[in-house]
Amino acid sequence: MNTTQLTEKIASGALDGLFETLYGKGNIAQARARYTNAIASFTYLYGKREGAMLFSVAGRSEISGNHTDHNYGKVIAASVDCDIIAVAAPSEGNVVRIKSEKYKEDRIGLHNLSPDQFPRFKSISLVAGMCRAMRDSGYKAEGFDAYTTSNVLKGSGLSSSAAFEVMVGNILNHLYNGGKIENTEIAKFAQWSEIHYFGKPCGLMDQMACAVGGFVKIDFADPQKPIIEKKIFDLDTLGYNLCIINTGGNHSDLNDDYAAIPSEMKAVAACFGKNVLRGITMDELLDNAEEIRKKTGDRALLRALHFVAENDRVDAIGTAMDEKDIDSFLSGIEASGNSSFKWLQNVFPTQHPDEQGVSLTLAVAERSLAKAPRKGVCRVHGGGFAGTVQAFVPCEYVDTFRADIDRVMGDGACMIMRVRPYGAIRVDE
């Protein structure tokens, strides 16, 4: 299909059913316009092209399992209706060109994909890493041109970088590999790329949640073969909205803060002769607390205690979801937030104690939810330190809640999200 035919297909309404599934019934016209404009931007940059395709990769919201995946723990996450979309077509030559809206074009020659050829913490390194990972696994990764636009807020805790990585894999999967690569494999390539090319130590939750879609519980006991369990859990039916609150902070300069969490957890694990915390019990940590404190410090032990408690909490929250027990679900989310604040300590960076957007947002959210007619809860969202807060709010109260938040944090700070059933997909099929 060429770019003109893609535009005609959108205009005909042939994709409206999928647009409703991805974005909601009231947002079909907006989705049509967004994809049509993306095709126009692609055509302006790269010309009318044959073999063009449309793609979408979801942002993600972590439900439970805050900072557990990198120590082979358990998580629950969900894909949400903010996403990165792309128009892409194969190109001649051994070059990838990706132009993301509001950013400079990334241009990468595929003849030399050694990681030392690419700068750390740049999107170009993620592209190179994805191509290298796919080639090393026996898949094709050839040249292509793409235009992307995203409403996954950068630095928001909704995993904009993971969505971008998975998007590169999604494009290569369909352009050159017949769509035969499982999304779970693409997520693994994305994690490898982020660690070895981008330079950020990370677990696999973000990439897996962006790629797989819906509510998923993931057990990383064997990170090469994670156990993925789909959860059928309809917040609308239970009378709740998922809200994500933009606190105005940014994750871009917090790599050291993020890296310290898995590093400190693994330092505690080393006290037991292990590489990760998975399998170490709460009693073992407390029985050996004196030695651990001397070797690793108090914060490392606190973070290890958080890991063990949070890992158990994932199972409890998963059971509540299976039983459609909203009260137990909310209690688990609340406990997870308290543990992240007090034990994990990822609510604000200690080097900038004057910048506490997440803490302030939690204070405002808790005050508002105390007035709600039914229980509502909030917690630090995702990696933490900056970015976003997550809240589960009774549907009948969500307008009041949003007004309370926006009054302090600014108009549009509180976003109501939908959980969508698809993660990484080709849209035009």
Predicted confidence (pLDDT) per residue in 404-422, tens digit: 999 999 999 999 999 999 9
pLDDT for position 226: 87
201 pLDDT band, cuts 50/70/90, is confident
End-to-end, the C-alpha distance of the chain in Å comes to: 10
Check residue 382 and give its pLDDT.
78
pLDDT of residue 158: 64
pLDDT on residue 22: 95
370 pLDDT above the threshold of 60: yes
Q: What is the pLDDT of residue 135?
A: 97
Find out whether 149 and 34 touch, Cβ atoms under 8 Å: yes
In this prediction the pTM is 0.85
The pLDDT of residue 155? 59
For residue 104, is pLDDT > 60?
yes
Among the ranges given (151-160, 173-182, 337-346, 392-401), the one the predictor scored with the smallest mean pLDDT: 151-160
pLDDT band for position 157 (50/70/90)? low
Strands (E), 135-278: 144-150, 215-219, 227-231, 240-246
pLDDT of residue 383: 80
Which band of pLDDT confidence, cut at 50, 70 and 90, is reported for residue 352? confident
- Does the pLDDT value for residue 83 go beyond 80? yes
CA 210 to CA 160: how far, in whole Å? 9
- Scanning 236-288, the segments in alpha helix (DSSP H) are 255-270, 282-287
Q: What are phi and psi of 203, to 5 degrees?
A: -85, -160
Structure tokens at 154: 């950068």
The 10s digit of each residue's pLDDT in 285-334 is: 999 999 999 999 999 999 999 999 999 999 999 999 999 999 999 999 99
Confidence band of 258 (pLDDT split at 50, 70, 90): confident
Q: What is the mean pLDDT of residues 257-269?
A: 94
Closest CA to 395 of 424, 409, 374: 374
* Adjacent-strand bridge partners of 231: 215
Highest mean pLDDT among 241-255, 292-306, 347-361: 292-306
* 250: pLDDT strictly greater than 70: no
Would you say residue 252 has pLDDT above 60? no
* Residue 16 scores a pLDDT above 60: yes
Q: How confident is the model at residue 206 (pLDDT cuts 50, 70, 90)?
A: confident
Token couple for 192? 């490898």
Q: What is the pLDDT of residues 32-46, one digit of tens each?
A: 999 999 999 999 999
CA dihedral 331, 421, 209, 115 (to 10 degrees): -160
Residue among 1, 422, 34 nearest 175 (CA): 1
Report, as an integer, the average pLDDT of 164-179. 97
Q: Is the pLDDT of residue 215 over 70?
A: yes
pLDDT of 34 reads: 98
Q: Cβ neighbours of residue 367 under 8 Å, at least 6 residues apart? A: 404
| pLDDT, position 20 | 96
Mean pLDDT for 342-346 is 95
What does the pLDDT look like over 105-126, one tens digit per residue?
999 999 999 999 998 889 999 9
**DSSP-assigned letter for residue 224:** T
Pairing mode of beta strands 215-219, 106-109: unpaired
pLDDT band at 92 (very low <50, low <70, confident <90, very high): confident
Residues 324, 233 contacting (CB under 8 angstroms): yes
Task: Calculate the CA dihedral of residues 187, 192, 139, 49 and round it to 10 degrees.
Answer: 70
CB of 23 within 8 A of CB of 81? Answer: yes
Q: In this structure, is the dihedral angle defined by the CA atoms of residues 131, 136, 140 and 143, taken in order, positive or negative?
A: positive
pLDDT, averaged across the chain: 93
- The answer on pLDDT for 241 being more than 60 is yes
